[in-house]
Structures are given as structure tokens and as C-alpha cells.
């Protein structure tokens, strides 16, 4: 089971945010050197000790909570056929992407993910749909996320076409744009969202907020959590490092 940690930034006090995992391991030479430097700094500035001590305790409490939350939701994210995927269904390496068809940065990220999967077929992208920018367009009985999930579950051959159309739409989706996608893929009956897809979106949103994430896209690659858009070179670098690719 992967674990994730909160990175510490000490400027007077320690601030916490989800960034990457911390696993039990022996100290590297650099870590030993840095630990020695920290001890020297604290010895020379004892007024910092209390705030650092409190910050570390807060960090450990937050880490324990996040680890438990990840364990509780691991299978929902990584081993669940309800989520649309990009790439080989049996790929050894899985990237989680919290994404929104109404998010411009998610739309920019999509071709970068496609390039990564094309280069490394052993990598699969799992899309966790979270409609942050709008729950449902005015006059519509579905949303971009709900339509995509209904298509994924009931008509996978048409999903890829719909997915591309959903990602290519400039700006927010509207009732008309969703109607066009439903009609062009021969799925007018899916323009009324199913209760199953609504439940999936609700769980996705709960997991998203439970991780303390604030915006899309948010990417989990191996042991790293990356908020926001990532250009292909950086995406490739992180994936190759985390999955030992090449």
C-alpha cells in the first residue's frame, strides 16, 4: 500500500500540504548531513524548537489520518472498473487523474497523458471524474461527467469518441453541447443521467475532498501527488522515475 506524506516548510511555523510519500528507510548521506545541520540550527536557535516540535506532531497526526483515508479508498481508485481508463486495461502501472471535462487545464493535460501512454503501454491512466466547475448545465438532465460515466458503463465502443468531444469543447459544457455528443454517438437515451453514475460522482467528490485536494487536474503518479497541469517532459520524468521505466 502506498503512503503519502505532508511536506514541511518551516518559516517561523510549519505549514502542511499533501505532496509525496514517506516510507521507512535508512538515511542517505545527504539526509544525515541535513539532519546534522538542523540540529546545529536548533541548538543555536532554541526558540524554534517548540514550533518545530508542534509542527512535527501535527504532521504525524495528519499523515496517520491521510494514510488511513488512502487505505480505505485505495480499491475505489485503483481497482474499480467504474472509472474510465486510458491505455491498456492490464497495464502494470497506474496513474490516477482527478479530472473535470469543464476544466481548461484538464483539457490541456489530456494530450500529454496520451503521449505518455503511447510511449509506455505499461502505463494506464485512470480518470476520476469530479465536476468541480459546474454540477449540471442549465436545462440539462445530465452533466459531462455523468454522460461520460454512463457511456463508459453501457457503451464502451462509443466512449472514446465521446471522451474526445468532451475534452475538445472550449469553455463550459452546455445542454446543447451534451445533446450534440449524445446524438453524434447514438446515445440520446443517456442524456438523462443514471442514479448509478450520480453515486459514482458523489463518491469521487468525497475522495477528492478527503485528500484535501482543491483543484483539477490532480495527478497521483507512483508515490507522488502533483496538483495542476504538468507538461509532457515533466510528466514523463516523474513517471519514469516512479515506475522505473526506460
Distances (CA, A) of 94 to 123, 127, 185, 218: 6, 10, 28, 14
* Same domain assignment for residues 49 and 100: no
pTM value > 0.85: no
Domain count within the chain: 2
95 pairs with which residues across the strands? 125, 221
* Same domain assignment for residues 93 and 203: yes
pLDDT tens-digit map of 119-149? 999 999 999 999 999 999 999 999 999 999 9
Q: Are 113 and 235 in contact (CB under 8 A)?
A: yes
Q: Using CA atoms, how far apart are residues 143 and 7, in angstroms rounded to an integer?
A: 36
* Same domain assignment for residues 130 and 199: yes
Q: Which domain holds residue 135?
A: 85-243
- CATH number of the domain within which 189 lies: 3.40.30.10
- Final residue belonging to a domain, choices 20, 39, 74: 74
Tell me the mean pLDDT in the region 14-22.
38
Query: Is residue 101 one of the residues assigned to a domain?
Result: yes
* Same domain assignment for residues 120 and 210: yes
φ and ψ at residue 172, rounded to 5 degrees: -75, 150
- Final residue belonging to a domain, choices 45, 74, 103: 74
Evaluate if residue 10 carries a pLDDT over 50.
no
Residue 133, all three cell numbers: 466547475
Q: Report the pLDDT value the prediction gives residue 60, as an integer from 0 to 100.
A: 87
* Same domain assignment for residues 172 and 197: yes
Residue 121, all three cell numbers: 503501454
* Same domain assignment for residues 185 and 147: yes
Q: Report the pLDDT value the prediction gives residue 61, as an integer from 0 to 100.
A: 81
Evaluate if residue 1 carries a pLDDT over 60.
no
Q: Using CA atoms, how far apart are residues 205 and 49, in angstroms rounded to an integer?
A: 38
* Same domain assignment for residues 120 and 43: no
Q: Report the pLDDT value the prediction gives residue 112, as an integer from 0 to 100.
A: 97
pLDDT tens-digit map of 76-105? 999 999 999 999 989 999 999 999 999 999
- Final residue belonging to a domain, choices 50, 74, 98: 74
Amino acid at each position: 500500500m502506498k503512503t503519502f506524506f505532508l511536506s514541511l516548510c518551516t518559516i517561523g511555523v510549519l505549514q502542511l500540504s499533501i505532496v509525496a510519500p514517506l516510507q521507512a528507510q535508512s538515511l542517505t548521506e545527504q539526509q544525515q548531513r541535513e539532519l546534522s545541520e538542523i540540529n546545529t540550527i536548533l541548538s543555536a536557535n532554541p526558540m524554534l524548537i517548540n514550533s518545530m516540535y508542534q509542527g512535527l506532531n501535527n504532521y504525524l497526526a495528519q499523515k496517520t489520518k491521510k494514510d488511513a483515508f488512502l487505505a480505505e479508498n485505495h480499491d475505489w481508485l485503483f481497482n474499480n472498473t467504474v472509472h474510465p481508463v486510458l491505455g491498456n486495461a492490464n497495464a502494470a502501472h497506474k496513474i490516477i487523474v482527478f479530472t473535470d471535462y469543464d476544466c481548461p487545464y484538464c483539457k490541456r493535460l489530456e494530450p500529454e497523458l496520451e503521449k505518455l501512454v503511447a510511449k509506455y503501454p505499461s502505463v494506464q491512466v485512470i480518470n476520476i471524474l469530479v465536476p468541480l466547475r459546474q454540477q449540471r448545465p442549465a436545462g440539462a438532465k445530465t452533466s459531462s461527467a455523468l454522460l461520460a460515466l454512463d457511456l463508459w458503463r453501457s457503451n464502451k465502443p462509443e466512449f472514446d469518441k465521446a471522451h474526445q468531444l468532451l475534452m475538445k469543447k472550449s469553455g463550459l459544457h452546455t445542454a446543447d453541447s451534451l445533446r450534440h455528443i449524445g446524438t453524434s454517438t447514438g446515445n440520446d437515451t443517456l442524456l438523462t443521467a443514471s442514479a448509478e453514475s450520480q453515486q459514482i460522482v458523489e463518491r469521487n467528490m468525497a475522495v477528492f475532498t478527503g485528500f484535501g485536494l482543491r483543484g483539477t487536474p490532480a495527478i497521483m503518479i507512483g508515490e507522488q501527488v502533483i496538483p495542476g497541469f504538468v507538461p509532457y517532459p515533466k510528466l514523463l520524468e516523474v513517471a519514469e522515475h516512479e515506475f522505473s521505466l526506460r
